[in-house]
Amino acid sequence: MLKVEDNELLTRVGPRTPMGEMLREYWMPACRSASLVADGAPRRVRLMGENFVAYRVTDGGAAFAYEACPHRGASMALARNENNGLRCIFHGWKIGANGRIVDCPAEPADTREAFAARLKVGFFPTREAGGMVWVYLGKQSSPPPFPEFEFNNLPDSHVCARRGLVNYNWLQGLEAHIDASHVGILHSGFLNIGKKTAIDARDLGMATANKAPKTEMHVTDYGLREGALRDQGNGTTYARIREIALPFFTFIPHAASEPCSGRATVPVDDEWDAEWYILYDTEKPLTQEAINLLFEGTADDPDNFASNMGNSGNMWNQDRKAMSWHFSGFPRSIPFEDFIIQESMGTRMDRSGEQLGRGDVILVQVRRMLLEAVRGWREGKPAPWNVSREQYRGIRAIATTIPTDMKWTDVNAAEVMRKQAAE
Please list the alpha-helical segments (H only) found in 217-309. 288-295
CB 149 within 8 A of CB 223: no
Say whether 297 sits in a helix, a strand or coil.
coil
The mean per-residue pLDDT over the stretch 228-247 comes to 91
Q: Is the pLDDT of residue 128 over 60?
A: yes
Q: Is the pLDDT of residue 194 over 80?
A: no
The mean per-residue pLDDT over the stretch 85-95 comes to 95
Those residues with Cβ within 8 angstroms of residue 295's Cβ, 6 or more apart along the chain or in another chain = 162, 277, 305, 333, 335
CB 149 within 8 A of CB 392: yes
Buried b (16+ CB within 10 A) or exposed e, 195-217: eebbbbeebbebbbebeebbbbb
Most confident of 229-238, 251-260, 360-369: 360-369
CA distance 318 to 252: 26
Q: Is the pLDDT of residue 12 over 60?
A: yes
Tell me what percent of the residues of the chain surpass a pLDDT of 90. 76
Fold topology of 28-135: Rieske Iron-sulfur Protein (2.102.10)
The mean per-residue pLDDT over the stretch 250-272 comes to 94
Domain boundaries, the chain: 28-135, 150-422
Task: Note the pTM of the prediction, 2 decimals.
Answer: 0.94
pLDDT for the residue numbered 254: 86
Query: What is the number of residues in the chain?
Result: 423
> pLDDT tens-digit profile of 278-322?
999 999 999 999 999 999 999 999 999 999 999 999 999 999 999
Nearest to 136 by CA among 197, 56, 52: 52
Please list the alpha-helical segments (H only) found in 229-302. 288-295
The mean per-residue pLDDT over the stretch 347-367 comes to 94
CATH superfamily of the domain spanning 150-422: Naphthalene 1,2-dioxygenase Alpha Subunit; Chain A, domain 1 (3.90.380.10)
Ordered strands of the 94-96 beta sheet: 80-81, 85-87, 94-96, 101-103
DSSP-assigned letters across all residues of 18-67: HHHHHHTTS-EEEEEGGG--BT---EEEEETTEEEEEEE-TTS-EEEEES
pLDDT for the residue numbered 416: 82
